[in-house]
Structure 1
Amino acid sequence: MQEISVPAKVVSPRTMNTTEFVLRQAKLAANPALFSKRNEDHVWVDVSAKEFLADVSAIAKGLIASGINVGDRVGIMARTRYEWSLVDFAIWFAGAVSVPIYETSSPSQVAWNLGDSAAVAIFAETGSHENIIRQAAHNENLTTLEHVWQLEGDGLDVLRDAGHNVSDETLEAARTANGLDDVATIIYTSGTTGRPKGCMLTHHNFVELSENARAVLGKSVVPPGSQTIMFLPLAHVFARYISVLAVAAGAKVGHTPDIKNLLADLQSFQPTFILAVPRVFEKVYNSASLKAEGEGKGKIFAAATKTAIEYSRAKQDGGAGVVLKAKHFVFDKLVYVKLRNAMGGQVRHAVSGGGPLGERLGHFFQGIGLQILEGYGLTETTAPITVNRPEHIKIGTVGAPLPGNAVKIAADGEILAKGVCVMKGYFGRDDLTAEAFVDGWFRTGDIGELDEQGFLKITGRKKEIIVTSGGKNVVPALLEDQIRADAIVSQCVVIGEQRPFIAAIVTIDEDALPQWGKAHGLPAGISVAEAAKNATVIAAVQGAVNKANSTVSAAEAIKQFRIVDTDFTETSGHLTPSLKVKRAQVMKDFEAVVEEIYLSKKPV
């Protein structure tokens, strides 16, 4: 199959915008809880739809009183927290356009996003964030930026007070000023290369994509009363879209800004569904495996893993036999229930995006009773173009298009997208917008294929395909994903562009090292730098490389690798906020390692 188009199940009035979702929930007699936030005693306290509407309206009136006009751009720079969504909707109620900024951004990155979007105001989480913003405004002479409000302290109270004299009629005129065709937000692509581009996402994108997702996921994944805890950055389109979808569906959202507390937060909040990037699922599996090894239960966990994967595969292929069902039942009592309880005990579905999830991992989680619904999309497509659904799933693919979306495979294998998910264009860059489309189809830059049932499989990134000096095309992700799945490995970057052979740069998982080291006889307290030179670690990485190599041809196989003594992180500048590797930055910073590989003795 080369093309598939799925008709929209819901078509909204052109005068509608995203704020209608809040009004819809507040009008319900049940007055559902839309959010939950921790109080001073760390107890989760629900925020009802009516309470949320009242506070959003009060802050929106404050924005209007402060001179924010319809169409003005207003920034948000904060960690993932309740107030992020509160001010996001307040900006929309005031008829303005929100501009998310990652809270880890440097002054120059902040300056670019605010300056390029000509933002007139910004919400900052803390004093330190405000300092970065003011430094950025001073350095780049951002004359349009008039207001900086803090989420902590009394910043929001100042706005609430400022809006007392703004009438309900004035607020309603601002709230209804935008229709589906108007811009709701400008999200700057974190990008692995070049200057970030401002993706203009409209109310049409959020409304139609949420309504059509609700039409197919509303009974199973996001029914009224379902709940999720948000730990991905809300500045990222994936978390942002799910946050809007939750309001549309009447699902409750909690927030946790620090992933280090994630397990405790999952257990206290007890979500029914979660969303995460593949690295989170890899870490959950690897830490469970290492814990079992450390307790002398490694063989039981390995057998339980094998059974879970076999059970899931059998179910997908038509049904599990009596013996397999019996084994699965036993391991469910011994192992799987503990894993589910570790995530709060109520999670039934997990939405995975932001990168490819290994097929083996997908089957493992499905087999233990946590169904991972892998989807695919970009900032430019408001997150999901396609997604697997509980009743329409094929593990190893990223699902079929959501209603209202279409996918086409170009002659060179590039995935093209069209539909309710696709952005209006790049802010102030008509030239780049024109380049991004061909005959009305958005060019994703990813390579993939559609099967006979319309399920999409991603095979790589067009720009990342390596062409060796011998002319062989190699898709690095096919090798990297398999190697990164090993417990001791954090990141892997496959190299070889115009080189005689394929090689890899590997980093060690610092969090996994103590437990892994103990299980494998490494000295206590061994550092990452020491582990990078340790023979046991090198042998383990070689084993992971050999395993990955067995799935590709000899010309595509990794002939040499080097373990570097520091991990790639967002702070080091080697990962985007959604944990994708900035390949060009790695190549630049580890140039000496790359050259050493290719100056060494050529592999046989």
Structure 2
Amino acid sequence: MYEWQNLAEMFMAGVERRGAGPFLWAKMDGAYVSKSWTEAADEVSKLARGLRKLGVGPGDRVVLCSESRPEWPLAIIAIMAIGGIAVPAYTTNTVADHLHILADSGAVGAITSSTALSERVLAASQTHNIKFLITMDKFETAQSPGTDLYDWDGLLSAGAKEPDDIAAAIAERKIDDTAALIYTSGTGGAPKGVMLSHKAIMHNCEGARDALEEIGLDDEVFLSFLPLSHSYEFMAGMFFPISIAAQIYYAEGIEYLSRNLTEARPTIMTAVPRLYEVMHGRIAKGVEQAGGAKQKLFNAAVELGSREFLEPGSLGFGEKIKNALVDKLVRNKVRNNFGGRLKALVSGGAPLNYEIGLFFTALGLRLLQGYGQTESAPLISVNRPKRIKLKTVGPPVKNTEVRIADDGEILARGDQVMQGYWRNQDATNKAIIDGWLHTGDVGHMDEDGYIEITDRKKDIIVNSGGDNLSPQRVEGFLTLQPEISQAMVHGDKRPHLVGIIVPDAEFASEWAKENSKPEELAELIGDSEFARAIDGAVDRVNADLAVNERVRRVMLIADAFSTDNEMMTPSLKVRRYKVMETYGERLEALY
């Protein structure tokens, strides 16, 4: 059924196909430099042999904590090639997070990049001792860690001296072997280790390829900037590109994304909704500042593009001419800002606001929303390029079954379903029943088999009147307002909704200057006039919501939800329980 028996074999097929062609791109001295497929294969072989010399064998867990860079996929493939299990870890993890993963997984070693990341993992290893730590960058420590330290280049040199039998080792790996142990980002508590087989990830790659073949897949180019430790980027930004022998550029960081887009000129790009929201805000802000004819042309592009998408053929003769004009003057410029050859933007990891999706679609960018979770490796469904329904997450991918339970929960079945939670049979038994993965998401399927997500089952608010309300829907509308950066609503077993608002920093700064107020947000949130300005934004949203969805009172906070304060996951989803730990009493006081 599958073309390959394991992910390392899949990688070697790409090596055979592309040879000396470019594979992985990273910035060196201000310019992108590539590593070819053959160079990558040589490095994988040496690293695999080096790891085996350190004692890594089939079933052994090795943690990988690094920012996105070429060494990341090479390390993952090397671990898998000798039968090891890769355990990705976020660079934002605290020492306590690392300790949990090291202890829970029983890792024998770790691979890290920077000094800061290495020190954090070493600190955690003082409680759960690992045998070795391999650092990509030069690393020196005054501590006596009790762990053998190796640098990347040194281990490659040592591996080169070992017998070169990695091809035979790869051939021994089975399709049902566990390939990776990916820890959930923990929106609801301590992360659980999700066991994913080679087959699960290859099922995802095959499903993604089947969905995207409509736009023609050839020598594709990806720009990777999401954390590779997240299951979404792990598959969509790493293994899927490998499966189609694509090139991968690694972004320097979110702050350099605009520059990297024009340098890499990607044909396919994956991102989470929060990034699209930020980009939408920046574009809208720039257009507003430009004003005049530019603003009118831009607004016309959005308005006409939206109508043409929603009601094909509805534009009159004069409107068609105007639409063609703004396509050249506005949409071409937008497309060029994304590199000029983008075939598709893919959104996943969290629900995409409909208005955001429509905005980019109207500007001539093909935006495909997909759906899944770590427990499904992670892909379950995705929109098809030739039939996009922005309010949905598309139909199930190839060889995937989806049904809706009596209580509205989405259930999925297929080869992508996890093997279970690591050393947690009780949780596994609750998540997988009769082969069906219980996603914890609520939704329905339309007449075409497209899935529409309502909310997370556990996040649904049931007010005191018994109404089921979607917090993500309300929060999505709030954060579309230029005055609001982040929002979280609350109201379970209460008569109405209340919320937390993080004001937009740029809006707050400009408002303060115009009103001769202090620019520090911490001071502004206590200003009654500023609070009224934010209330105005909430009122605009409320005007378009059902009565029971309206947010009656809000509190303003200056500190944004972030990974640093643990109120957001690395994939930029709000950890509601963490927010409630800090602000719960103040929210309750609003009633």
Partner of 2:413: 418
Tell me if structure 2 keeps the 8 A contact 1:287–1:512. no
Deviation of 1:534 after TM superposition, in Å, equals: 5.2
Residue 201 of structure 1, CA deviation: 0.7
Q: Judge conservation of contact 2:178–2:195 (CA < 8 Å) in 1.
A: yes
State how far apart, in whole Å, the 1-side matches of 2:498 and 2:407 are.
Answer: 25
Contact 1:472 1:556 in 2 (8 A): no
Whichever residue aligns with residue 209 of structure 1, its letter is: N
Structure 1 gaps of 5+ residues are: 1-10, 599-604
Q: Aligned to 1:490, what secondary structure does the other structure show?
A: strand
Q: Are the counterparts in 2 of residues 95 and 176 from structure 1 also a CA contact under 8 Å? A: no
Is the counterpart of residue 12 in structure 1 residue 2 in structure 2?
Answer: yes
Deviations 1:378-433 (CA, angstroms, capped at 9, x unpaired): 11111210001212321111000110111111101011111122111101111110
| Alignment of 1:22 onto 2:11 | yes
Within 1, Cα distance between the matches of 2:516 and 2:429? 57
User: Which runs of 5 or more structure 2 residues have no equivalent in the other structure?
Assistant: 139-149
Higher alpha-carbon deviation: 347-356 or 441-450: 347-356
1:254 and 2:249 equivalent? yes
Aligned to 2:142: none
AA aligned to 2:302 is T
Could you tell me how far 1:219 is from its partner in structure 2?
5.4
Encode CA deviations 1:480-538: one digit per residue, 9 max, x unaligned: 11111222322111101122321111112336654x649x9355972222443456654
Q: CA deviation at 1:573?
A: 1.4
Residue 548 of structure 1: aligned partner: 541
The residue that corresponds to 2:27 in the other structure is 38
Alignment check: 8 A CA contact 2:20 2:39 kept? no
Cα distance in 1 for partners of 2:528, 2:21 equals 57
The question of 1:60 aligning with 2:48 is answered: yes
Corresponding position of 2:233: 239
Letter in structure 2 aligned against 1:556: E
Q: Which amino acid aligns with 1:362?
A: G
User: TM-score normalised to the size of structure 2?
Assistant: 0.93
Look up the equivalent residue of 2:209 and give its one-letter code: R
Once the two structures are superposed, the pairs formed by residues 418-567 of structure 1 within 5 Å of their partners are 418-510=413-505, 513-514=508-509, 517=511, 521=514, 523=516, 526-533=519-526, 538-567=531-560
Distance 1:595 1:77 in 2: 39
Q: Which residue of 1 aligns with 2:307?
A: 310
Counterpart residue number, 2:118: 130
Question: CA 1:426/1:517 → structure 2, altered by over 3 Å: closer, same or farther?
Answer: same
Please identify, of 229-238 and 21-30, the stretch whose mean Cα deviation from structure 2 is larger: 21-30
1:328-386 deviation per Cα after TM superposition (whole angstroms, max 9, x unaligned): 22222332222222222222310001111122221221121111100001111112100
User: Pick from 155, 161, 166: which aligns with 2:157?
Assistant: 161
Query: How far does residue 190 in structure 1 lie from its aligned partner after superposition?
Result: 0.9
CA RMSD of aligned residues (A): 2.1
Aligned to 1:378: 373
Distance of 2:496 and 2:242 partners within structure 1: 51
Q: Is the 8 A contact 2:206 2:398 kept in 1?
A: no
Q: SS of the counterpart of 1:176?
A: helix
Alignment correspondent of 1:229: 223
In the alignment, which of 62, 84, 95 is matched to residue 107 of structure 1?
Answer: 95
- Corresponding position: 1:96 with 2:88: no
1:569 aligned to 2:562? yes
Aligned positions of 1:139-218 closer than 5 A: 140=127, 142-143=128-129, 145-153=130-138, 155-169=151-165, 171-218=166-213
- Distance in 2 between residues matched to 1:526 and 1:511, nearest whole Å: 10
Residues of 1 paired with 2:18 and 2:257: CA distance?
A: 33
Specify whether residues 301 and 416 from structure 1 end up closer, same or farther in structure 2 by C-alpha distance, changes over 3 A only: same
Mapped partners of 1:45, 1:542: distance in 2: 50
Between 339-348 and 570-579, the greater mean CA deviation after superposition: 339-348
The whole-number CA distance in structure 2 between the counterparts of 1:321 and 1:76 is: 57
Equivalent in the alignment of 2:145: none
1:37 to partner: Cα distance = 1.9
Please give the TM-score of this superposition, normalised by the length of structure 1.
0.91
Distance in 2 (alpha carbons) for counterparts of 1:268 and 1:527: 36
| Higher relative contact order structure (alpha carbons within 8 Å, sequence separation ≥ 6) | 1
> Could you tell me whether the CA contact under 8 Å between 1:312 and 1:364 is conserved in 2?
no
The farther-off stretch of 571-580 and 463-472 is 463-472
Shift of the 29–529 alpha-carbon distance from structure 1 to 2, 3 Å rule, reads closer
1:588 corresponds to: 581
CA contact (8 A) 2:9 2:171 kept: no
Count of matched residue positions in the alignment of Structure 1 and Structure 2 = 577
Structure 1, 290-299 or 128-137: larger mean CA deviation: 290-299
